[in-house]
Copies of this chain bind each other. A is one copy, B any other.
Amino acid sequence: MEALKTRILNEGQNLGRGILKIDSFLNHQLDAELMEAVGSEIARQFSHTNPTRIVTAEVSGIVPAIMAGKALGNIPVVYARKHKPITMMEPVYIDAAPSHTKGGEVMLMISPEFLHASDRVLIVDDFLASGRTIDALARIVQNSGAVLVGIAAVVEKTFEGGRTALAHWNVPVFAAATITDMSDGKIVLA
């Protein structure tokens, strides 16, 4: 997606250690039209897999996920919670992933109310880096008995190996923008 690449090149900051700051349109401030375009592109890539539900993780996956859900015919979008709210009382699917930008480990929780064995699930997240957050979401999908049909990210950093780490799921993986190199302060897009 050229519009997204241009925004990354113009506004992205390489903070070192593979950390890309794109707070001006994805991770703190949001650009609705850009995210809608990303959602439409994700829908175009995965409509043939007939997803019935999108799974993402709070916080920054939510907006690309809702835009993809809308573009796929308003299929429901469920976001894994990282902090148990008081409204989450019943047993939940839970898994853990290391946090790249916050340090430590985060728990990901999804209520069985909103993830069924009959579902065909597309996972959408903001970044595909090491793949460990998405891998945890995929394990939750597997535990629910649902079928994982695809994985989509707004931005992939190929040099962190996530695509290889997720290959065992044997589903199509798509990123709307792909960064191949962030060494020496560079931001190199494919």
Contact = CB atoms under 8 A, between A and B. Distances in A.
A8 to B, nearest CB: 14
B101 A87 contact: yes
A51 to B, nearest CB: 13
B32 A78 contact: no
A21 B86 CA distance: 9
Interface residues of A, number: 42
Contact of A59 (B59, B101, B110, B113): B59
Contacts of A122: none
Nearest to A92: B28
Contacts of A88: 23, 28
Contacts of A21: 87
